[in-house]
Amino acid sequence: MTIEDIQNEIIDEFSMFDDWEERYQYMIDLGKELPLIDDQYKTDSNIIKGCQSKVWVHAEMKDDKLQFTADSDAIITKGIIAILIRAFSNQHPKDIIDADTSFIDKIGLKEHLSPTRANGLVSMVKQLKMYAIAYQTQLN
């Protein structure tokens, strides 16, 4: 599936929820389910510091596709990470570079991706794209 297809699928899933509580509960559950990152990669060099919650990201290339794993110490942040990873992982670097993240607005989680929220997520998205750019340069 393309990034856009996955994003539309996520938007569809979220459209079933009536209110913020259901959306948040779903995210919290996503956050809990996923053992997102191998402990060996939860290092200081993989950490993205937000004032409020920390995010770790690790990237690896497999068969020309970029694989992301990530984690956070806050569960709502982790839920959003799970969604972002579902959208961006296992894709070609070029597609990741070109992808947009406005689907987060459409599923009612915009406030968490505000640059002033200090939860590390905005930097995380930037970091995903940086990895994609770095690996794309290697491919070229």
Set 1, 2, 13, 51: catalytic member:
51
Task: Name the β-bridge partners of 55.
Answer: 48, 72
28 sits near another protein (criterion: CB under 8 A): yes
Binding flags for another protein, 49-88, as an x/- string (CB under 8 A): --xxxx------------------xxxxx-----------
Establish whether 120 is a catalytic residue.
no
Geometric angle at alpha carbon 103, from 2 and 23, rounded to 5°: 115
Q: Where are the alpha helices (DSSP H) in 2-74?
A: 3-15, 20-33
**Residue 2 CB, nearest distance to another protein (Å)?**
31
Q: What is the Cα–Cα distance from 85 to 67, expressed in whole angstroms?
A: 9
Does residue 34 belong to the site contacting another protein (CB under 8 A)?
no
- Cβ 114 vs Cβ 65: under 8 Å: no
Residues involved in catalysis: 51
* Positions that interact with another protein (CB under 8 A): 20-21, 24-25, 28, 51-54, 73-77, 111-112, 118-119
